[in-house]
Amino acid sequence: MDDNYYNQYIKACNQERTVTRYLNPEDINLPPGFTIEVYAEGLNEPSSLLFTDEGEMIIATSGYIFGYPSVSRLVDGRLGLISNQFHIPLIGITYHNGDIYVAHRGTVSVIRRDGTQEDIITGLPSFGDYSNSRVAFDIDNKMYFGIGTATNSGVVGADNLWVKDYPQFHDYPGDYIILNGQNFTSNNVLIKASHESTQTGAFSPFGEMNIPYETRKGVIKASGGVMRSNPDGSELELVSWGLRSISYMKFDQLNRLFLCNNGYDIRGSRPIANAPDEFHLLHPGLWYGWPDYASGQPVTSTIFRPAAGEPPQFLLTNHPNVPPAPYASFPPDATIVGFDFDNEGLFGPPGDVYIAEFGSIRPFTYTDVIPQYTNVGHRVSRIDMFTGSVTSFAVNRSGFPSYVTGGGGFGRPSDVVFGPDEAMYILDTGLNTLEDPNRFIPYTGVIWRVTRTS
């Protein structure tokens, strides 16, 4: 990317703008004894934040909407560029031993203390619906990250907008599997202006059919897999698989790895309804159920049947194990993303998790089901780590996101971090249009700051 062009973008972010967002902290409901304020505003599609050992705030910009993936330092409300040499989208950033690890499509890079940058892992299979996740480190200095699936539920179809660019791409299992042999009919999007249909089988390129008891070998870089390596990217190995869309992962003080896994959508050749979002404690070596289970339950259950159609059938004849139930569950369309542990018990019981719910990302073109705005998403929730129960911690008083009501509260919460000042920082990606949940209005990103008053 042209540095001069990007510097003009940074300059624009730091200048007065005519595009503004109405903000009113009083529109956000908090438990008694807490207060919220605007810490920074006017950001473009921020995706994650962190604090360094020196207390500096670092912000990542995804680039998915505006085309400017970056890592910047925020000082006195102004951005200072650290690096912009990344693929779109930039998923997230992690601070470890003085270095900043950056997860961007197909790649993990490291920005060192001296300002040098190196790609330490490349060639990850991230051309599909879901990319690789940000990384996390355990007490043994091992690096972990997730690889998202290529498809919603195992079958490439017309809903996969990447098919024309990567027609041979598909999902890959993490273990030896045997397929049932179903094939799914969809419009042949590879033929321009065509009304022809084609059939596609599971774990196969678009337009290639399965036969009963067809086999697939497991690969290390598996779809829906959790990977582990050394900090320099060497000795890459598969830890677990069977997760759909791993959006965030982090170790607690007991060196246990927790992660967010977003559930199936009602779309594509194999739509699945009512699939919860899942917060998991990772057990190495286990299969977590994708593409045949949701939240520990078989997708053949009637609860997962779309309004128009039959319940999905199993794609696999052999399931590696009975998938574990999640540690905590969230309603469909919550889209759980960044979270942090309240290790010091600043806001409640020590160790509880505070997690951002981004809200529905389903365009109306995916399904006739209207995206849910109330009672799910667009908030920060608390997970009681003793019981696994979930309660809302910070949510708009209206119950609706601010891009629906025009209110001054949350739009799209995407990350939660406890800062060195004992405050909670909530990253709000911004306001999207009602027509398209993935189209954001420029300069509407916000950082909120929550403090305890009693």
* Strands in 193-350 per DSSP E: 197-201, 215-216, 225-229, 237-240, 246-251, 257-261, 277-281, 293-294, 297-298, 328-330, 336-341
Encode pLDDT of 65-95 as tens digits: 778 899 999 998 889 999 999 999 999 999 9
Is the pLDDT score of 164 beyond 60?
yes
For residues 171 and 163, is the Cβ–Cβ distance under 8 A? no
Strand (E) or helix (H) holding 5 = helix 3-14
Write the DSSP string, 43-102.
ESSEEEEEE-TT--EEEEE--TTTS--EEEEEETTEEEEEE---PSSEEEEEEETTEEEE
Mean pLDDT of 265-277: 95
Residue type, 7: N
Domain ranges in the chain? 25-452
- Band of pLDDT at residue 362, cut at 50, 70 and 90: low
Instruction: Return the structure tokens found at 320.
Output: 């590696």
Encode pLDDT of 202-231 as tens digits: 999 999 999 999 999 999 999 999 999 999
**Burial classification of residue 433, based on how many CB atoms lie within 10 Å of its CB (0-12 exposed, 13-18 middle, 19 or more buried):** exposed
Total Cβ atoms within 10 A of residue 357:
26
- Band of pLDDT at residue 11, cut at 50, 70 and 90: low
Is the pLDDT score of 365 beyond 90?
no
CA dihedral in degrees (224, 228, 231, 235; nearest 10)?
A: -120
**pLDDT over 90, % of the chain:** 84
What is the model's pLDDT at position 366?
A: 47
What is the model's pLDDT at position 363?
A: 56
Among the listed ranges 58-67, 146-155, 348-357, which one has the minimum average pLDDT value?
58-67
Among the listed ranges 14-23, 91-100, 201-210, 433-442, which one has the minimum average pLDDT value?
14-23
Is the pLDDT score of 372 beyond 80?
no
Is the pLDDT score of 12 beyond 90?
no
For residues 39 and 448, is the Cβ–Cβ distance under 8 A? yes
What is the model's pLDDT at position 406?
A: 92
What is the model's pLDDT at position 149?
A: 98
- How far apart CA 431 and CA 406 sit, in angstroms, is 10
Residue type, 374: T
Angle at 114 between CA 110 and CA 119, to 5 degrees: 20
Encode pLDDT of 244-270 as tens digits: 999 999 999 999 999 999 999 999 999
Is the pLDDT score of 17 beyond 80?
no
Encode pLDDT of 314-333 as tens digits: 999 999 999 999 999 999 99
What is the model's pLDDT at position 192?
A: 79
Instruction: Return the structure tokens found at 3.
Output: 């540095």
Mean pLDDT of 139-155: 98
What is the model's pLDDT at position 274?
A: 95
What is the model's pLDDT at position 64?
A: 79
Which of the following CATH numbers is that of domain 25-452: 3.20.20.70, 2.120.10.30, 1.10.600.10, 3.40.50.10800? 2.120.10.30
Cβ contacts of 354 within 8 Å, gap of 6 or more:
339, 340, 342, 347, 380, 381, 382, 383, 393, 416, 418, 424
What is the model's pLDDT at position 258?
A: 98
Mean pLDDT of 381-400: 97
For residues 53 and 28, is the Cβ–Cβ distance under 8 A? no
The closest alpha carbon to 411, from 365, 357, 338, 450, belongs to: 357
Nearest 5°: phi and psi at 48?
-160, 160
Is the pLDDT score of 104 beyond 50?
yes
Is the pLDDT score of 338 beyond 50?
yes
pTM of the model: 0.93
What is the model's pLDDT at position 360?
A: 85
Mean pLDDT of 2-28: 66
- Band of pLDDT at residue 1, cut at 50, 70 and 90: very low
**pLDDT over 70, % of the chain:** 93
What is the model's pLDDT at position 289?
A: 98
pLDDT averaged over the chain?
Answer: 92
The closest alpha carbon to 385, from 246, 252, 261, belongs to: 252
Encode pLDDT of 290-311 as tens digits: 999 999 999 999 999 998 888 8
